[in-house]
Amino acid sequence: MDLFRQTRIDISLDQLQINLRALRQQVSAGTFFCPMIKSDAYGHGDRAVAQLLHDEGIRHIGVAFIEEGVRLRGYGFEALEILVFSMFDRKGFEAIWDSHLVPVVSCWEQLHVLKEFLRDKDRRQPIHLKFNTGMNRLGFRPDEAGQVRQFCEGLPCVDVQGVCSHFLCGEDWGIESGYCEQQTKAFQPVLDAFPKVSYVHFHNSASLLASGFEGASAFGARPGIAFYGSVPTLFDKARDQRAHQFGIAEALSVHTKVVQTHKLKSGESVSYGPIFKAKVPSQVVVLPIGYGDGLHRNLSNLGEVLVRGHRAPMVGRICMDYCMVDVTEVAKKTGSEIRVFEDVVLFGQQQGQSLTILEQAEKVDTIAYEFMTSLGLRLKRHYHSKPLADLSQVKQSFV
């Protein structure tokens, strides 16, 4: 069913492809490479993203939860090996087994579920093993690696294909005595216990980009946010710029239209509260997007949008379905008042000007991941085979 909203999400499949190819160049040929498409591919739509990855010849993809993997299998992606990184009980493993998913096992309880379930099965189950080297979230202790290997060797239906861990501060890759170096050293008992394992993966977006700047890395990688075109929040500006030199850029933009305009007198307010009052006679416009769509409410009186290629501030409290913008200065600069149905960009580009998701997220002390994954299903995704910079020229009709 068509959605009769004046607000939409545009996603550039070409930009995702550019990002993907840039990241693949940062690992050695044949090294494990597993883009993460959890949380509906970071808000980009898991079906479309999985299709792109399939078409690009990607073999492995990763999700957080079993339901995400089952859904992808339901779409018909039979050739992709789907790694599931969450905890599972017996019922959950039944779904993993039925959908031919690959669990990333991180505790003894999961191994005992495998032992019991596979007791009378005649098909081997591929698994990866995760070890906790400092994140203290999921994973066996590295000093348990020998015991884990022996246990798995006693399960003829289990095929240990990979071992992995996760950097807690990938941004400091290459820094002497940094977290990455400490974790890499802590991982050595795992490598010793599994010398012939097919895959070893450790890198996330931050460490992959950082290691890539120094040359291809032998560690396998599970890129997330960088695949979608943003960089980890803790990246310094120099590495940020170098990431963009690789062609990495945000593939997602959010567009809407003005649905009403108001002329405020000095002292008049807008929205709930009120936390905004006009200091001079002002033009304020209403946009049909709010926190019910995933627009962060903390952007109230802080966020910005692009109107006619100029930045304009969000004013007043963001509502569930609407937000308001002061366009007084834009109208002065462009010589006429803003009209109903004029185009507005919340994230993306317009007339050569850019307003990134990362920039908006930093205004409220959060991360691009949160903004991307919060964008709700009320916003229809439109997919285009052109870079993000060209999407401002895409004409859309709205009822």
Q: 213 and 186 share a domain?
A: yes
Q: Is residue 5 part of a domain?
A: no
CB distance 270 to 301 below 8 Å: no
**End-of-domain residue from the set 245, 278, 312:** 245
Alpha carbon distance 11, 254 (integer Å): 9
Counted domains in the chain: 2
Alpha carbon distance 331, 339 (integer Å): 10
The CB density around residue 274, as the number of other CB atoms within 10 Å, is 12
Q: Is residue 2 part of a domain?
A: no
Q: Is residue 50 part of a domain?
A: yes
The lowest-confidence range among 124-128, 229-233, 307-311 is 229-233
pLDDT value for 213 = 59
Distance of CA 189 to the CA centre of its chain: 31
In this structure, are strands 60-63 and 81-84 parallel, antiparallel, or unpaired? parallel
When pLDDT is averaged across residues 108-114 and rounded to a whole number, the result is 98
Token digits for 208? 């992959």
pLDDT value for 239 = 59
Say which CATH number the domain at 277 has: 2.40.37.10
pLDDT tens column, 25-34 = 888 888 999 9
Output the CA torsion sign for 38, 41, 47, 49: negative
Active site residues: 38, 272
Q: Is residue 235 part of a domain?
A: yes
pTM of the model: 0.92
pLDDT tens column, 217-227 = 778 999 999 99
Q: 271 and 241 share a domain?
A: no
Q: 283 and 336 share a domain?
A: yes
Helix (H) or strand (E) holding 50: helix 46-55
Say which CATH number the domain at 111 has: 3.20.20.10
Q: 221 and 281 share a domain?
A: no
Token digits for 277? 């009052």
Alpha carbon distance 132, 140 (integer Å): 6
When pLDDT is averaged across residues 153-167 and rounded to a whole number, the result is 97
Q: Is residue 59 part of a domain?
A: yes
CB distance 242 to 216 below 8 Å: no
pLDDT tens column, 266-296 = 999 999 999 999 999 999 999 999 999 999 9
pLDDT value for 397 = 29
Q: How many alpha carbons lie under 13 Å from residue 296 in its C-beta half-sphere?
A: 25
Task: Quote the radius of gyration of the chain (alpha carbons, Å).
Answer: 24
Q: 170 and 285 share a domain?
A: no
pLDDT value for 26 = 86
151 closest CA partner among 142, 139, 160: 160
